[in-house]
Amino acid sequence: MTPNPAPDPPALPARLLEPVPVIVVVALGWLIAAVLAFTVPGLHEWRPIAVAGLGVGMLGTAIFLLQRRSARRGDRGAQRGLI
């Protein structure tokens, strides 16, 4: 007698698979942190961290957009599931 295989988990809803809302919320968070770091005198120590967060976020967003464009064109080396 063979054991029953484990059932497949249900698929996630489409709204949970969409990365754009996450990118927007995180970018707004870093933008708010940068504005506060440059306007509130007590937060001047946050300036390099806030600027670095904005820079890393911009780099990551650019890579994501390039990968998504490549996936939509059907390039061989592009990631799957970004369309």
What secondary structure does DSSP assign to 27-56, as a single string? HHHHHHHHHHHHH-GGGGGGHHHHHHHHHH
Indicate the pLDDT class of residue 80, thresholds 50, 70 and 90: confident
Tokens representing residue 32 in the block: 């708010």
The string of pLDDT tens digits covering residues 26-78 is 999 999 999 999 999 999 999 999 999 999 999 999 998 888 888 888 888 77
The string of pLDDT tens digits covering residues 6-20 is 888 888 888 888 888
**What is the reported pTM?**
0.72
